[in-house]
Amino acid sequence: MGNFKGHALPGSFFLIVGIWWCVKFSFWHVSRRKKNACPFATKAVYRRVEIIEATVIVVFSLIGMIAEQFVPDGPHLTLFNHKEQHWDHLMNWQHTTMYLFYGIAGAVTIAVHTTAAAPVAFDRLMLSIAVFVEGFLFLYHLHGRDMLDVHVHMLLLYAIFGGALTVFLEVFLRGNILLELLRTSLCLLQGSWFWQIGFVLYPPSGAPQWDLQDHNNMMFITMCYCWHYAFSLLLVAGIYTITSWVLHSKLKRIPQMEMGLLKRDHERESDDDM
Amino acid sequence: MGNFKGHALPGSFFLIVGIWWCVKFSFWHVSRRKKNACPFATKAVYRRVEIIEATVIVVFSLIGMIAEQFVPDGPHLTLFNHKEQHWDHLMNWQHTTMYLFYGIAGAVTIAVHTTAAAPVAFDRLMLSIAVFVEGFLFLYHLHGRDMLDVHVHMLLLYAIFGGALTVFLEVFLRGNILLELLRTSLCLLQGSWFWQIGFVLYPPSGAPQWDLQDHNNMMFITMCYCWHYAFSLLLVAGIYTITSWVLHSKLKRIPQMEMGLLKRDHERESDDDM
Amino acid sequence: MGNFKGHALPGSFFLIVGIWWCVKFSFWHVSRRKKNACPFATKAVYRRVEIIEATVIVVFSLIGMIAEQFVPDGPHLTLFNHKEQHWDHLMNWQHTTMYLFYGIAGAVTIAVHTTAAAPVAFDRLMLSIAVFVEGFLFLYHLHGRDMLDVHVHMLLLYAIFGGALTVFLEVFLRGNILLELLRTSLCLLQGSWFWQIGFVLYPPSGAPQWDLQDHNNMMFITMCYCWHYAFSLLLVAGIYTITSWVLHSKLKRIPQMEMGLLKRDHERESDDDM
Amino acid sequence: MGNFKGHALPGSFFLIVGIWWCVKFSFWHVSRRKKNACPFATKAVYRRVEIIEATVIVVFSLIGMIAEQFVPDGPHLTLFNHKEQHWDHLMNWQHTTMYLFYGIAGAVTIAVHTTAAAPVAFDRLMLSIAVFVEGFLFLYHLHGRDMLDVHVHMLLLYAIFGGALTVFLEVFLRGNILLELLRTSLCLLQGSWFWQIGFVLYPPSGAPQWDLQDHNNMMFITMCYCWHYAFSLLLVAGIYTITSWVLHSKLKRIPQMEMGLLKRDHERESDDDM
């Protein structure tokens, strides 16, 4: 992963997931608030969407795991290099492990939505664990690097652990649109920050190198991180507004006053109650 | 910000906001506990007050951002000084970023109270994020300073992060007078502590300089911080008592016993239910 | 406070408070579970007990503050020693500050129970803040001491901050007997640990001095801390059992089965609903 | 405990407990969701199972305490070696203390389930404290060891403190199957990790020694920890599925649709309400 592409790829992935979640949660929340209005926003449809999403995650995890193992300079399932007496391609193995947990989370999500075997909240619990494990493995990635290198990865970890915590809260407050959009914004932040890390550590040819020991760079990058989050928040707000507006314009008038009164109840409604 | 005025200004600002919040929350809580009694404490009025407050915040944020950029020795929107190869006026840019997030929080508050587009709790979530970002930027401000300088700013951070956490809890426990007054007291603490920092780091002419490496000074300043908080708590208690007393004397007798019984229900009432 | 008596005194105080709380909470919880059975366990009595307890706390705080200031070698309200250019009797001032916050907590408790001015939960919030401030001031007490000295005080801080957190949870889960007894056990732990600190740092004459740099001592003292907590838990269990038994034997038979069914509801009952 | 057996023994113990919990919680949760279906899943049976489990814990704790004290090279209740002026067999005393707290937790569990003296939630609170104390004593075990040695024990502590926190949440969310299985998975993780520590620190004869200062080993071991957790999660999922399948196949058809509707209510049901 020690190159620009290795950071841009997961960055793009998280950006796409973030945008998708933002559309999904906005759509459900708005359509849930006016029952009968949107004929296809039923519980069955919701369930099917969740299953498709989880299937995509499982497929991508499998592809990721296979790719990490069998790229030309990958470990090819060899864990220990006996000739040189050291661990073989630890990086690839770590990424494989990260994919493994996302794969488990996807599989559990499919299981709880296709069968009635277990509480649906298990999907959030497993997602929370998968995100946590991603952060946990990153945490022990950083030993002995330069100050700025460590710092940009620490900032990434804030987004990751913040996301894990938010998803964990969703276990108990399922269908809370605030937590869902908070999680989405942290996912987008993670995505765009991966790109930023790529630009900082592997500047495109022609651009000057960053001084990785300069404290001013560290202060600038912290501020930059906040800008990324502001951008992420505006993106979420924009997508929510557009989704909301499209649904309203299609669904015509619903008495404004009634909605205000119903507002609080709806917020507490879980996804299941559509 | 490296002077006395640069600390006194935000200090005064937070003190004024704290006092305003204290009056507002006390007034709503007391008038909510006796329905019908206060004819103008209606939901519509409450909403209008929130919108006005948010508008003021947005305006002040804009003024702050423009001022930070275009003061004579400001960056004038230049981020990088190419001649000397370093970041230009990082401090001003950091303050601009802080204002930006408060501005976003204000804009979201206006949006959720004027339209029925999104849950009202978004105003608290965004305020929580804005306060958190303020603390986050301060946290990476402190590298390589003197011990006492770092310490007084760390104490400031306790007030800021405590405030962010309290507002975050308000997302889920909206209208809880305890959290609202706790937030208020932390805001007042932040305000008066800014003044104290000004006095410690830039003592008025004639006064002796503080020894920034002396451990006794550190212990004294910690104690001093507690006194500021005691003062802040007394101020909150005083304002609450006066507000309460004024409303009572104007509204005449309401059976004391009934109030005791109703007490607990009312505490759980959200602002919306007035 | 740098002597044995200075640790034994607060230790005894916290032990007495812990035992009193244990009796009070056990009594209320047991009598609450069988309404009508205990004629004098009414809301009015409960309120009166709270007010008396708070009054005692206020009086003790005032005595403590005056004593700290006006003992022969106290600061006599002088904060700065101008002759020698250093802070005067910082220790005494810190203890005064601690008493001040307990005094405020007591005063607020009296206010919310005698008037209907504010939610009763304010008493817990202020108590939580008072305990937190006690720990906060201790935290910056420890600079530059010996390893074991720091360690025994850190262990004390776990009990203090644990107590502050428990009381803070009580703000939202008022009357929860589990939190109340947990708080009690941490208070007793704090009390007996103060005694232990006295014995470690100022061994009675004749006893050998402790080697304050020995890591084995540190490991032993950690284990010893756990024993103190085991003792504290057994004390709480004993007092609860005796209280429970006394009330039962006085109140005669109440159908055992019914109690089991009512159990859960009662646990959620707040103190006010007696 | 400084040998392979000393790590394999507790490891096996936690693995067995984890598997037992997994079966127990899965069984209760599944049978609770179809009332009348499983005739022997009554409240009385549940209570008896809890009492038997707690009795086993108390007996094992007593055996453990006696064994730690009276093994040939144990302390035989001697705490201080006066001849050589140092603490005697601190390790054994620490383990005795750990067993003591598990014993107390077991005794409290028996007490709250056999009598109606106290809220049943006390069993979870005491278990949480017992697990916390285990972690707390381990934490101060680690001074001055090699990097990898410290690291593998720190990883163990994550599982322990994670478990303590989960059980503490169960105090307030009793009977929540998600928390129960999360606790179970952390218990299994702890068990299998004890075995891993044994293999790392005391490799079986013939195997090469680990370089305890190599950073690559540290990164590998962190990843290995995640694999253990993946294994633990799969084990929990497997046991839950088998239990669920066995109960279903024995109990025949129950309308699938109805179950979906009842799902959410059941999740919130406490164990008591079976």
How many Cα atoms are found within 13 Å in the side-chain-facing hemisphere of D45?
11
Chain C residues in contact with D117 (beta carbon < 8 A): 240-241, 244
- The chains in contact with chain B, meaning 3 or more Cβ pairs closer than 8 Å, are A, C
Band of pLDDT at residue D274, cut at 50, 70 and 90:
very low
Tokens of D113: 């389930």
Higher-confidence residue of C199 and D3: namely C199
CB B182 within 8 Å of CB C125: yes
The confidence score (pLDDT) of residue A34 equals: 67
pLDDT digits 0-9 by tens, B232-260: 999 999 999 999 888 888 765 544 444 44
Tokens of A243: 């989704």
Domain count for chain C, please give it.
1
Report yes or no for ipTM above 0.90.
no
Rounded to whole angstroms, how far apart are CA atoms B38 and B250?
9
State yes or no: chains B and A have 3 or more CB pairs below 8 A.
yes
Mean pLDDT over each residue of chain C, to the nearest integer: 85
Question: Min CA distance, A24 vs chain D (Å)?
Answer: 22
Chain C residues in contact with B222 (beta carbon < 8 A): 136-137, 140
- pLDDT score of B178 more than 50: yes
Of residues D183, D141, D126, D179, the one with CA closest to residue D159: D183
List all residues 6 or more positions away from C219 whose beta carbon is below 8 Å from its beta carbon: D87, D90, D94, D140, D141, D143
State yes or no: chains D and A have 3 or more CB pairs below 8 A.
yes
State yes or no: chains C and A have 3 or more CB pairs below 8 A.
no
The mean pLDDT value for C131-157 works out to: 90
Residue A80 has phi, psi (to 5 degrees) of -125, 130
Higher-confidence residue of D22 and A216: namely D22
Residue numbers of the domain that contains A161 = 4-273
Band of pLDDT at residue D251, cut at 50, 70 and 90:
low
Of A177, A222, A227, the CB nearest to B140: A222
The confidence score (pLDDT) of residue B37 equals: 56
How many Cα atoms are found within 13 Å in the side-chain-facing hemisphere of D59?
6
List chain A residues with pLDDT less than 50.
1, 254-274
pLDDT digits 0-9 by tens, C201-217: 888 877 788 888 888 88
- pLDDT score of D269 more than 70: no
Among B34-48, B70-84, B192-206, the least confident range: B34-48
Rounded to whole angstroms, how far apart are CA atoms D236 and D188?
9
Rounded to whole angstroms, how far apart are CA atoms D71 and D179?
38
Rounded to whole angstroms, how far apart are CA atoms D255 and D38?
16
Chain C residues in contact with D137 (beta carbon < 8 A): 222-223, 226
- pLDDT score of B89 more than 70: yes
- pLDDT score of C260 more than 60: no
- pLDDT score of C36 more than 80: no
The residue with tokens 């007496």 is A85
pLDDT digits 0-9 by tens, D41-76: 678 888 999 999 999 999 999 999 998 888 887 787
- SS3 track for A46-109: HHHHHHHHHHHHHHHHHHHHHHHHHCCCCCCCCCEECCCCEECCHHHHHHHHHHHHHHHHHHHH
Terminal alpha carbon distance of chain B: 43
Of C178, C219, C234, the CB nearest to D119: C178
Tokens of B142: 């402190």
Please state at what angle helix C215-251 crosses helix D122-139, rounded to 10 degrees. 170
CB A93 within 8 Å of CB D223: yes
The confidence score (pLDDT) of residue B252 equals: 59
Question: Min CA distance, A57 vs chain B (Å)?
Answer: 29
Tokens of A73: 């300079």
pLDDT digits 0-9 by tens, B129-150: 999 999 999 988 787 788 899 9
The confidence score (pLDDT) of residue D16 equals: 96
Tokens of A91: 């990086």
- pLDDT score of D31 more than 50: yes
The 10 Å Cβ neighbour count of residue C95 is 22
C-alpha D149: how far from its chain's center?
Answer: 22
Highest mean pLDDT among A36-45, A258-267, B111-120, D261-270: B111-120
CB B102 within 8 Å of CB B75: no
The confidence score (pLDDT) of residue D266 equals: 42
Tokens of B125: 């979530």
Q: What angle do CA C236, C242, C245 make, to 5 degrees?
A: 135
Please state at what angle helix D177-201 crosses helix D215-251, rounded to 10 degrees. 140
The confidence score (pLDDT) of residue B165 equals: 96
C-beta atoms of D223 and A93 within 8 A: yes
How many Cα atoms are found within 13 Å in the side-chain-facing hemisphere of B58?
15
Q: Which residues of D touch A (CB under 8 A)?
A: 173, 177-178, 182, 215-220, 222-223, 226-227, 229-230, 233-234, 237, 240-241, 244, 256, 259-260, 263-264, 267
Of residues C96, C2, C36, the one with CA closest to residue C254: C36
- pLDDT score of C178 more than 70: yes
CB pairs under 8 A between B and C: 67
Of C116, C137, C140, the CB nearest to B260: C116
- pLDDT score of B181 more than 50: yes
Bridge partner list, A200: none
Band of pLDDT at residue B271, cut at 50, 70 and 90:
very low
CB C75 within 8 Å of CB C69: yes
Q: Would you give the DSSP letter of residue D81?
A: E
Chain B residues in contact with C122 (beta carbon < 8 A): 178
Interface test with C, best of B27, B169, B210, B219 (most C CBs within 10 A): B219
Q: What angle do CA D224, D227, D231 make, to 5 degrees?
A: 140
Interface test with B, best of A165, A188, A220 (most B CBs within 10 A): A220
Among A149-163, B47-61, C73-87, the least confident range: C73-87
Terminal alpha carbon distance of chain D: 43
- SS3 track for chain A: CCCHHHHHHHHHHHHHHHHHHHHHHHHHHHHHHCCCCCCCCCHHHHHHHHHHHHHHHHHHHHHHHHHHHHCCCCCCCCCEECCCCEECCHHHHHHHHHHHHHHHHHHHHHHHHHCCCCCCCHHHHHHHHHHHHHHHHHHCCCCCCCHHHHHHHHHHHHHHHHHHHHHHHHHHCCCCHHHHHHHHHHHHHHHHHHHHHHHHHCCCCCCCCCCCCCHHHHHHHHHHHHHHHHHHHHHHHHHHHHHHHHHHHHHCCCCHHHHHHHHHHHHHCCHHHC
The residue with tokens 């004890």 is D194
How, if at all, do strands D86-87 and D80-81 pair? antiparallel
